[in-house]
Amino acid sequence: MKKLKQIAATLVSVILAGTVTVNASAAESMETPYRSPTLSSFPSNASLEDLEKTSDNEDLRIISSPSRGANYKTRAAEAVALLRIYSTTGSGSSSSFTNLGHSWLMITNLSGSTVNIAGINVADGKSITASTWDESVDVSREHKGLWLNLDSKLNSNGINLQNVSIQLPLRQIDLNTVNTNIKNNDKWGYLTNCSTFASKIWNSIASSSSKVDAGAINTPASLAKNITKVGEAESYTLLKYNTSSPHYDSVYYGYPPIKSNNNN
pLDDT tens column, 20-78: 333 333 333 344 345 668 888 877 667 677 666 666 566 889 999 988 888 888 899 99
Q: What is the pLDDT of residues 179-204, one digit of tens each?
A: 999 999 999 998 899 999 999 999 99
Q: Show Cβ contacts of residue 63 under 8 Å, excluding neighbours closer than 6 positions.
A: 177, 180, 181, 184, 204
Q: What is the largest CA-CA distance in the chain?
A: 48
- Helix 220-233 × helix 194-203 angle, to 10°: 30
**Each residue of 221-244: pLDDT tens digit?**
999 999 999 999 999 999 999 999
Q: Residues 160-173: what's their mean pLDDT?
A: 96
d(CA 251, CA 155): 13
- Going by C-alpha positions, the residue among 224, 219, 178, 217 that lies closest to residue 201 is 178
Mean pLDDT computed over 1-21 = 38
Q: What's the rounded Cα separation, in Å, for the pair 103 and 89?
A: 10
**With the C-alpha atoms ordered 84, 88, 94, 96, is the resulting torsion angle positive or negative?**
negative
